[in-house]
Amino acid sequence: MISFSKKNRIFIQVFLILFLSGVTPGIAGETYKWVDKNGKVHFSDHSPDNMASKPDIIQQIEDVETEDTVTIAGNEPDAESPNPIEHTAESTFTIKGSSTVGTGFFISPNGYAVTCKHVIEEKGRHVAVLHNQQEYPIGIISESDEYDLALILVSTFQRTPYLELRDPFSMKPGEKVYAVGSSAGFQSTITDGLFTGMRKQMPTEQRALQFSAPVNPGNSGGPLIDENGKVIGAVSWKLLSNNGVPVTGIGFAVPSDYILDEYRGYITVK
């Protein structure tokens, strides 16, 4: 196995993030990255004005010479996980706003992640609480104009575990599914149920995946996965009542093919 020094791994990680963001990094010196008050991600090869007064600075990467290895956030995504459900939990994180809680999940080793748009609509700063309980700022990269989806960047400057997508049309009614998220504020809660099928939402006629795994406030934006840990959708909403009669066991997720349509260029395929 090839082993990278801390200097090389940091440079490669920063280069990948900047390249995917359309920014060309400097060859040497320092790289600064921060999120402004509107959640927009900024990159620069020089410090922001009045850096000491900037509370939104995320991280400063120096061109250090040490040969120590880089600490990895969570488990190595490339390492074979003994349990795909456990790997899903490690690739999922809590999104905390000033008064809201939701969930997101990584789709690349560079910190890019998906959540539901309504999770990050609250004004103000959002942070990600990873599986290892470390907190990092979130930058909002894109909000879908068509679907309840958003692309975000969790600024860890470390390799992140990530999930792969599965074609939702390959699912059969009765297949077991798992919803992973911050259900009722409890991080990495895992609930199981069955896949029912595709439903059309009126009046847009957008498709949604129906499933029976229990979900609660805080699950929104979390992954709905199959038994192999492949994402078939992002948990979006559930039916609470029908004509005043309480309803349970009917949840809906934004299908993974919509995620692929919106954010194809950011998704890493193993």
List 188, 220, 236, 256, catalytic entry: 220
Looking at residue 186, its amino acid is F
Clarify whether 46 is annotated catalytic: no
Active site residue 118: yes
Give yes or no for residue 266 having a pLDDT over 50. yes
The pLDDT assigned to 5 comes to 44
Based on DSSP, count helices (H) and strands (E) in the chain, helices before strands: 3, 17
148 counts as catalytic: yes
43-80 CB burial, b ≥16 within 10 A, e <16: beeeeeeeeeeeeebbeebeeeeeeeebebbbeebeee
More confident residue, 56 or 207: 207
Residue 34 pLDDT: 52
- In tens, the pLDDT along 185-203 reads 899 999 999 999 999 987 8
Residue 211's closest CA among 231, 185, 188, 238?
A: 238
Do residues 214 and 231 touch, judged by C-beta distance below 8 A?
no
Across the strands, what pairs with 190? 180
Considering the entire predicted model, what is its pTM? 0.70
Domain with CATH 2.40.10.10 in the chain: 84-162, 168-255
List the catalytic residue out of 5, 42, 45, 118. Answer: 118
Element (H, E) at 136: strand 135-143
Q: Is the peptide bond before 203 cis (omega within 30 degrees of 0)?
A: yes
What confidence tier does 243 reach under pLDDT thresholds 50, 70, 90? confident
Give residue-wise pLDDT tens across range 121-178: 988 899 999 999 999 999 999 999 999 999 999 999 899 999 999 999 999 999 999 9
Q: Which of 21, 148, 155, 256 is catalytic?
A: 148
How do beta strands 245-246 and 251-255 pair?
unpaired
Taking 80 as the threshold, does the pLDDT of residue 235 lie above it? yes
Give the Cα separation of 49 and 149 in Å (integer): 34
Topology at the third CATH level for domain 168-255: Thrombin, subunit H (2.40.10)
Instruction: State whether CATH 3.40.50.620 applies to domain 84-162.
Output: no
